[in-house]
């Protein structure tokens, strides 16, 4: 059974970079890919023992330079194409973020994760006694299933309040869980692009779109792929 402490943390803004939930573009990953190994102690120390009632943002010191990671640079690419922003050759990602207030409280973009506990990658997951004690779940799968249902309900309410135009979810192997998280059911359509597939459906007026990971050999790893993704998303939003 889930612990009261973990329930309060999971059903909140904890575990995501945040930004502006009133932005028309949201991004959703699986979890923070930080740390050499999952550490509940570090997670709690850095990102609070209590529910995060207000989203984090990239203006916070803890997130300074976050936009230099491969994944977050791709967020900037998406916003660049989506809003047709001016980003001259040679200008840094840092310049872009500060110019357009990317993932700022009153800026563009909002980023969350489906799951609140950080793991460097899926291969690093070792669901040990620390996690069992912290969450109340005996296995990672039980933890994930609970979060999809209950953390998802929290964010569906936020969708109803903020009405984003599109939510970009990265990681096609978890597409069923992404759709359950944001819509309550694993129902969606597939669209084949030249180099990859995307999966989508509407939840009220919000397009939920699952695409390959932002980076990696088979992911969104080029300007051409990102431009194709954005063009398809904008077409589906019409």
CATH code for the domain in which residue 103 is found = 3.40.470.10
Read off the tokens for 130: 């620390």
Summarize pLDDT for 51-78 with one digit per residue, the tens: 788 999 999 998 999 999 999 999 999 9
Structural domain boundaries enclosing 213: 4-237
Summarize pLDDT for 6-61 with one digit per residue, the tens: 999 999 999 999 999 999 999 999 987 665 444 555 554 544 445 788 999 999 99
- Average pLDDT of the chain is 91
Distance CA 143, CA 15 (A): 14
Q: Which residue has the higher pLDDT, 122 or 41?
A: 122
Read off the pLDDT of each residue in 209-224 and give the average, rounded to a whole number.
95
DSSP 34-79: -SSS--HHHHHHHH-SS---S---TTSGGGTTGGGSHHHHHHHHHH
Q: Count how many domains the chain has.
A: 1
Summarize pLDDT for 169-198 with one digit per residue, the tens: 999 999 999 999 999 999 999 999 999 999
∠ CA 166-168-169, nearest 5°, is: 140
Closest by CA to 196, choosing from 227, 178, 220, 230, is: 220
Q: 156 — phi, psi (to 5°)?
A: -65, -35
Q: What does R_g of the chain's alpha carbons equal in angstroms?
A: 17
Half-sphere CA count of 43, side-chain side, radius 13 A: 26
Distance CA 161, CA 153 (A): 13
């Amino acid at each position: 059974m889930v612990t009261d402490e973990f329930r309060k943390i999971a059903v909140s803004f904890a575990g995501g970079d945040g930004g502006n939930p009133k932005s028309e573009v949201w991004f959703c990953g699986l979890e923070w890919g930080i740390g050499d190994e999952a550490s509940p102690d570090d997670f709690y120390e850095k990102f609070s023992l209590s529910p995060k009632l207000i989203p984090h943002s990239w203006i916070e010191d803890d997130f300074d330079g976050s936009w230099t990671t491969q994944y977050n640079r791709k967020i900037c690419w998406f916003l660049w194409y989506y809003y047709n922003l001016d980003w001259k050759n040679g200008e840094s990602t840092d310049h872009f973020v500060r110019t357009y207030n990317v993932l700022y409280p009153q800026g563009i973009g909002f980023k969350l994760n489906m799951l609140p506990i950080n793991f460097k990658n899926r291969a690093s997951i070792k669901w040990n006694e620390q996690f069992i004690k912290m969450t109340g779940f005996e296995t990672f799968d039980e933890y994930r299933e609970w979060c999809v249902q209950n953390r998802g309900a929290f964010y569906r309410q936020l969708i109803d309040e903020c009405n984003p135009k599109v939510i970009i979810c990265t990681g096609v192997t978890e597409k069923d869980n992404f759709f359950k998280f944001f819509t309550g059911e694993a129902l969606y359509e597939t669209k084949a692009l030249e180099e990859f597939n995307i999966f989508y459906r509407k939840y009220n007026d919000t397009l939920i779109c699952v695409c390959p990971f932002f980076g990696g050999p088979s992911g969104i790893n080029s300007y051409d792929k990102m431009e194709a993704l954005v063009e398809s998303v904008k077409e589906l939003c019409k």
